[in-house]
Structure 1
Amino acid sequence: MSRRGSGLLRFLQTLCLLSCCTADMCSWSGSGLVREPLSGPVQQVRLRCSAGSVRWLFPRLALRLLLKPNVASSRPAALCIKATRASRGAAVYVERGGELQLLMEDGERPEQVHCISTDGAQGAAVFLQANPQSDIRRRAVGFRYELLQEKSTASRAACRPCNDSELLQAICTSDFVVRGSIRNVSHHPERQTSVIEVEEAQVYRQRSGVFEREPVISGQWHGHIHTPLQCHVKAGPGQFLFTGAEHFGEAWLSCAPRFKDFVELYHSAREAQHIPCDFPLH
């Protein structure tokens, strides 16, 4: 793949010109049938945002996307892409280390999240190569993207348990921090994900409304947390402290120690004055 990807990258870079179609935008929608006069075989788009969407109608030849955050000091550590359900007509590659790496094949599982580390300060360069065998009149490529910062817990190896330092940092920087019990774990091979259903939850922090209150009678919080299927997550008794990142309106697990184990760790770290932030244990 590396030799083929490297050759494809050099070919596309040779065809690309310096012009771009849009600037300082989060999202882009365009057609492979309508091209800039000087764009050449590779249409180019520049987006300056940490999250947005792309929709390429009638995909033809190739499209190059340069994605950068709109804050100059930001250093994205990873790029995540989630294709729309009806996305068809092109494969998606990401440039890393001077080569193109395949991120998403044409017609791959709908709504599956794909993530890959980036070159940091350079943002992310994404190539969409249209499938010449498909009928472009019935095709449209669409996906949402997110550029994750270096502090994001999503850049950690998804299935590796957190060590003490990572756990103490996770309670300070995660998009959500929730204490609760596991009601059920469901597995979805078509999306390559497992979903943890959390009940009797106490929400310490969440970036959006991933966790919601149960009916007024109970008043407790309830929600779902995603993990890669390969992690083989199983239900267990007791209370856990769930932390992680939110991507495309979904919660993704980072660290999940048993709450009693976290309490012991937190007390020890506080006595040693090694806690990065205060945390309410009640």
Structure 2
Amino acid sequence: MSEFETLTITCKDGYPLAARFYAANSAAEAKSYPVLVCPATGITTQFYHSFNLWLQAQGYAVLCFDFRGIGKSLYGPLKHSTASIVQWGQYDIPAAIDALVDKTQAEKVILVGHSAGGQLLGIVPNYDKVAKVVAVSGSTGHIKGLKGRTKLLAPVMFDVIFPLSRLTLGYGPTSKIGMGENLPKDVAKQWAQFCSKPGYVINAIGKAVPKTEDHHKQITCPITVLWSSDDEIATEVNVKDLIRLYPNAKTSHKELNPAALGHQAIGHMLMFKRSHQNLWPMIEQEIASIQ
């Protein structure tokens, strides 16, 4: 049997997304809800493959996808992509939720979002199909709350590199600085805009997102953020900045200490790496707490 099934998910606006569906291991205890893994900015499904296989072995059905303009959901030259972060929240995540519900006939899904993948529920129209959010390294990424090297790099990337590259290249050149795949120009632009003030995507409300499509106050599902003390983006202040956006949800956050867990570093990206698979049961514990 193949490890996963390759799918094409069609969004409300007609955009096709490349996705992988990992059917639950029938030998494991059946779980009530399947898991939707939503990637970080510029990160593809392959990055989460080992983690998805592990969840599959625990008895979960798992769906993971590439956001529009990223990986196999990019069609044609990157400079021609019109993808945006707002579209990820309003079209891509909703389509993935519906696809997973259709595949499993479940009532709801657990959303495991990495970074940006766990920061957009407030503009997802079918948020009521999400039973819980486990936001790994989730925060608003507010530039004033960053620390370390990232605090120095971010202003240069947002205020200099992205505006110049938009004019010269037609996209955000993030791959050369080790921040995932190159980004569609409007993804790069919104990333800079959203992180320039507290609240991340809340800064799009009344602009790119109509006020009637702001669902933050309507969301009541539990939201838990797992973050590491050495994360330069999802710092404590930025994590708290994210969860304050959901006043009617039961929110919590848990800080991981790399040394206490046997690692030199965890940071923003390593929690899904095979080298850090001893952390995966901690993520699964949060997933299972809603079962």
Question: Which of the two has greater strand per residue?
Answer: 1
> Which is bigger in relative contact order (C-alpha 8 A, separation at least 6)?
2
Structure showing greater Rg: 1
TM-score, structure 2 normalization:
0.25
Query: What TM-score do the two structures reach when normalised by structure 1?
Result: 0.25
